[in-house]
Structures are given as structure tokens and as C-alpha cells.
Amino acid sequence: MRALLMDWIVCASDKDDCVEKIHRVEDEKTELIGRVADLQQELAEKQCELNVEKEANSRAPSQTIKNHVERLKNQLALKEKQQQVCLIGFCHCCPKCHKAGRPV
């Protein structure tokens, strides 16, 4: 009889432990569901921001294109300067001036 009583006490304490563990797991599950909902909301906001940035970037020229345009402007300015010097006749580097017999 005493063994049955001891088994019942152990079994009851195991049930209490199990119930406590179940409550902890349910609390953790609720917390995780809340975190997932928060992360989904944050993900939706970031996705919206990304779409706005993509739209803005599709309308604006890229940095590569800007750099290329700047380089072409500089090349054009240099060519114009060389042409002006060549027309004056003080060009030392232009093969056209040497062939034309312009004074150096």
C-alpha cells in the first residue's frame, strides 16, 4: 500500500512538473508568435522602403553614368583647348601643326 502511495505522490509531482512545463512552453510560444508578428511587420516596412528606393534609383542616373558624363566633359574641354592652341599656332604636340609647317 505504501508503494502505491509513493507512486501516486511521484506521479502527482510529475504531473505538476508537466503542467508547469506546458505553461512555460505555451508562454514561450505566445512570445515567439508575437516576435514573429513584429518581425513580419518590420519586414513589410523594409520591403516598402526598398521599393521606394528602387523607384527613386530607376529615375535617377547611376553614379557610373554620372562619372562617365563628367569624364566626357573633361575630354571635350581638353580637345577644345587643344584645338584653340592649334589654331593659334603654338601647338608643340599636335602632328597636324608639324605637318602643316606651323611655327613651333
- pTM listed for this prediction: 0.46
Selected residue with higher pLDDT from 23 and 101:
23
Greatest pairwise CA separation for the chain in angstroms: 129
Confidence of residue 96 (pLDDT cuts 50, 70, 90): low
The Cα–Cα gap between 35 and 48 comes to 20
* Predicted confidence (pLDDT) at residue 89 exceeds the cutoff of 60: yes
Q: How far apart are CA 51 and CA 69, in angstroms?
A: 27
Is pLDDT larger for residue 9 or for residue 87?
A: 87
Counts for the chain of helices (H) and strands (E), in that order: 3, 0
What is the structure's pLDDT at 94? 62
| Angle at alpha carbon of residue 52, lines to 51 and 54, rounded to 5° | 60
